Structure 1
Amino acid sequence: MKTLYMVRHAKSSWEYDVIDHQRPLKDKGKNDAMAVSEEVKTSIIPPQKMISSDAVRALTTAHYFKDALEISDADFSTNHDLYDFSGQNVMRIIKGLDNSLDRVMLFGHNHAFTSIANMLGSIPIENVPTCGFFMIEFDTDTWSEIKTGKTVRTIFPRDVK
């Protein structure tokens, strides 16, 4: 069985004159990331690997989860291809994961994450909100063969307030 955890980056700020890739989190985003990561910690078996988009807002969100789940630096990485809004690059990453990994957590962006939640999951999600978490289990031992799985859990900021 393969388990995919996905987290959309927390709420980002438009206050700064920076390119999209460098937008930081708002205070609300930081608070949501802290609250959701703590709730996720009580709900899942930690991933064996975390991979984040290298965009500042996604990477900052990922660090809250990394700390909450006590993931080592060796089991944490970034991948620029997760800075994807269509989902094609994200799917390529998922299908290319090492089969020795059974539980992987990805951090990225919409519309890609909502599309993947609906393409691979078993329940419709109209929109994965900022700092939204979802978990899908697949009845396979090979990442390249995943198709529709079972959406086991969602945790959105509104659920932890």
Structure 2
Amino acid sequence: MKTLHLLRHAKSSWDDPLLADRDRPLNRRGQRDAPRMGQALSTRLDPMAVSCSPARRARLTLEGLCQGWPELANCAHDIQESLYTFDYRDLLDWLSCVPGSSDSLFLVGHNPAFTDLANVLTGTPVLDNLPTAGYLRLELSTDGWTDLPGSGVLSERLFPRELR
């Protein structure tokens, strides 16, 4: 059994049209939602390592998560160039290279890749769109990170709009 935690980056700013996509920061809502999601997730999960897209908005989301979940800041986090993708097939390729000894992964990245990945892993459409700062936990009936499509069950979801 494997567990995959997916968190889409928080809402990003489009204020500067000259910024490259990977350089966009969080907007005010994103700056608010990331720590709130960190606080909410701290009551549901043990702190763990996080693999994060190198996009600025994803890295700032991880920083915000750690603000709301201080124990998470003490864990090792890594920036993975391969997670800067919008295609779920790239994520499947990345996952297939993860050692089988890793039972749980937490990723911070992008849509539509995360929405599509969740739907492919469960073998059925479980959501139309993972909102910004939205979280999913998928339980995968497999011993390794290969042959994943259709092996999963969506066991939890949490979206910022559900927080008080």
TM-score normalised by structure 2 residue count: 0.89
How many residues get paired? 160
Q: How many Å separate the matches in 2 of 1:65 and 1:34? A: 5
Unmatched 5+ residue regions in structure 2? Answer: none
Counterpart residue number, 1:150: 153
Instruction: Determine if contact 2:97/2:145 at 8 Å carries over to the other structure.
Output: yes
SS of equivalent residue, structure 2 residue 5: strand
Report how far residue 53 of structure 1 moved.
Answer: 0.5
For residues 12-52 of structure 1, give each alpha carbon's deviation from its aligned partner in whole angstroms, at most 9, with x where no partner exists: 001123111100000110111111111111112333x3110
Q: Is contact 1:46–1:103 with CA below 8 Å preserved after alignment?
A: no
Shifted more, 115-124 versus 130-139: the winner is 115-124
Measure the CA separation in 1 of the matches of 2:98 and 2:74.
18
Q: 1:75 to 1:53 in 2, by over 3 A?
A: same
TM-superposed deviation, 1:71:
3.5
Which segment drifts farther, 144-153 or 1-10? 144-153
Identity of aligned residues (%): 33
| Alpha-carbon shift at residue 143 of structure 1 (Å) | 1.2
The structure-2 alpha-carbon separation of the partners of 1:101 and 1:51, relative to structure 1 and needing over 3 Å to count, comes to same
Q: What SS does the aligned partner of 1:94 have?
A: helix
**Residue 12 (str. 1) matches residue 15 (str. 2):** no
Partner of residue 142, structure 2: 140
Q: Could you say which residue in structure 1 is the equivalent of 2:107? A: 106
* RMSD, aligned α-carbons: 1.8
Q: List runs of 5+ in structure 1 lacking aligned partners.
A: none
Match of residue 62 from structure 2: 62
Shift of 1:88: 1.8
TM normalised by structure 1 equals 0.90
Local SS of the residue matching 1:144: coil
